[in-house]
Structure 1
Amino acid sequence: MSDSKIRELFQQARKHLKDRDIEQAVIIYQRILSIKPAEKKAHAGIAAAYFQSKQYQDAIRHFEELTRLSPADASPYINMGAIYNRTGEYKQALNELRKAVQKDKKSADAFYNMGIAHKGLNQLSMAVTAYKQALLFDPDMVDAHFNLGNVYLEMKNHSQAHSSFTRSLEISPQFKKASNALKLLDIESTKEKQKINPFGRLVDEKSLRKKDTSISTKDMSAEEREQDRRDIHNLCEEIKEASLSIVSDLKKGFIPNLLNMNRCISQGEKHYSELEAANDKFQKTVKSLSEMRKLLKHRVLEIRAHEELMNSIGLD
């Protein structure tokens, strides 16, 4: 058969796909492949047709053939990863997507589908990392921003969720899902704020009165009061420094090291030699964060203990 006839068959197949006549499109692609078994465009076309008709195993069969015909192409692996995500086989999806990243280290689509797979496995922090990698290579990927917002929402990180949903709407103002998510998030945040007692736990006078408990404070001289203020001030400064250190470690240490470790894992054997060093850096950051968190917790407890002590001295 002449090349012009094959081009004509391709045009017919594409028209049938456009008209959603999947069955006829498949028949034509099969005819092309019977003439040219190694025709890559026909394998890609018929795989897409099978995917649309939810014949996933047939689609995978042709994508696998494409991996043999085009060993350097990441697309077939990405498409297989998307199919396995669709069928809920998230571990298999990650296997295929890691192969895709080995072929194309800057594939936003590969990392986006990795985010879906990690979310499916309830690996929320890894899902965040994957979506951020996708956005690094395609900052305007609306679905990545939206999905990232949903992951943050599940992690109860409402501020980051709000930021992601807002970014989705900035890119696509008509994106109704993001608009609805923002409305629900605002309602939820308002409810949470209403639950918060502005007086906190230490000076909740209503609950103290219910228990027939009175508040008494220590009588102090001017010098004692001045020293007390200095002690409180020093504790607050330590709390402030510890908090700033934790935020800095998260931004400059934890997140970059986590991304680097994920890169080493995702890109396979070529970067396995770097994995040990990347893991060591990550573990050091985690240890540092843990120590600063303990220090912060201790200082806050000291503040609370001091306040409770001052409010209880003199009670019978």
Structure 2
Amino acid sequence: MQKSLVLVVVLLALALVACQKEATGVEALLESGREHLEVGEYTEAIADLETVVEADPGHGEAHLLLGQAYNRTGDLLKAKDEFSTVAALEPDSAAGHHNLGVTYFQLGAPDAALGEFEVALELDPDDPDTHYQLGVVYLTISLPADDPLALPDPQLMEQAVAEFERALELQDGMPEALIGMANVYMLQADFTAAIDVLQQAIEQSP
């Protein structure tokens, strides 16, 4: 009986060591994937991060990074799937909803993007990037799709302006938001104002 107990303890210890090694391996691959992603080595990043999510399907951060890698290689459908997984695993992840919104917009689904950006802002109201992206969506859907000569929807244009202005409040001189405002001014035929903010955007760009 005593030998059996010793054997059980040994087996449990071995199992614990194996789990620790597996966890260490997963975290090492996650870090490797992140580093590859940061320097633009997307093929290597995808290989590392796919291995992580295969080993740990519930690893939200790995799905987020994998989605970003897919997005940067232009594989938008796979990116959407990864960001959707993040949103399901971690509903309070503003980054998950933000990235899903960006990908929906890139896929030509601005209404779906709008919903994701709104959720992201509920979770992180002071993120200038999300305010900017939401402004882009409002600006896009303000333009009548079936009549290129028709005037933009004024209410949606106002919402776009509000989002761009909020982004600029949170990040002074944000070039993307300035360019968004320039687009608004051009649609309003206020070319002087458009040129002015474009010059500001150029000055802010590195």
Secondary structure at the residue paired with 2:31?
A: helix
Which residue of structure 2 lines up, in the alignment, with residue 83 of structure 1?
Answer: 69
> How many pairs align?
158
Question: Quick one: which of 36, 41, 52 aligns to 1:55?
Answer: 41
Partner in structure 2 of residue 247 of structure 1:
none
Q: Which residue of 1 aligns with 2:160?
A: 161
TM-score, normalised via structure 1 length: 0.46
Q: Secondary structure at the match of 1:106?
A: coil
Question: What amino acid maps onto 1:141 in structure 2?
Answer: D
How far apart, in 1, do the equivalents of 2:110 and 2:94 lie?
Answer: 18
User: Secondary structure of 1:54's match?
Assistant: coil
Whether the 8 Å contact between 1:47 and 1:60 is mirrored in structure 2 is yes
4+ residue runs of structure 1 moved beyond 6 angstroms?
Answer: none
Q: Which residue of 1 aligns with 2:174?
A: 175
> Residues of 2 paired with 1:105 and 1:52: CA distance?
25
Look up the equivalent residue of 2:63 and give its one-letter code.
Y
- Secondary structure, aligned partner of 2:184: helix
Q: What's the Cα RMSD here?
A: 2.3
What CA distance in whole angstroms lies between the structure 1 residues aligned with 2:162 and 2:182?
A: 13
Question: 1: distance between equivalents of 2:22 and 2:95?
Answer: 30
Change (3 A) 1:37 1:73: closer
State the 1:90 CA deviation: 1.5
Using a 3 Å threshold, how does the CA distance of structure 1 residues 37 and 61 change in structure 2: closer, same or farther? farther
Within 2, Cα distance between the matches of 1:37 and 1:160? Answer: 46
Q: Distance in 2 between matches of 1:155 and 1:130?
A: 15
> Partner amino acid for 1:173?
D
Distance 1:173 1:55 in 2: 32
Correspondent of 2:138 among 131, 152, 155: 152
Corresponding residue for residue 265 of structure 1: none
Structure 2 residue aligned with 1:44, among 8, 27, 30? 30
Which residues in structure 2 correspond to 1:1-316 (within 5 Å)?
38-156=24-142, 157-190=156-189
Paired with 1:122 and 1:180, the residues of 2 have a C-alpha distance of: 20
Shift of 1:110: 0.8
User: Using a 3 Å threshold, how does the CA distance of structure 1 residues 44 and 126 change in structure 2: closer, same or farther?
Assistant: same
Structure 1 distance, partners of 2:23, 2:41, is 20
Quote the Cα distance in structure 1 between the aligned partners of 2:54 and 2:159.
Answer: 42
Query: Quick one: distance in 2 between partners of 1:102 and 1:115?
Result: 14
- Unaligned stretches of 5+ in structure 2? 1-20, 143-155, 192-206
Quick one: distance in 1 between partners of 2:24 and 2:47? Answer: 14
Following superposition, the deviation at residue 36 of structure 1 comes to 8.0
- In 2: Cα distance, 1:148 partner to 1:79 partner: 22
Letter in 2 for 1:87: T
% identity of equivalent residues: 25
User: Which runs of 5 or more structure 1 residues have no equivalent in the other structure?
Assistant: 1-34, 193-316
Matches of 2:64 and 2:134, distance apart in 1: 19
Quote the offset at 1:187 in angstroms: 4.0
The code of the aligned residue for 1:182 comes to M
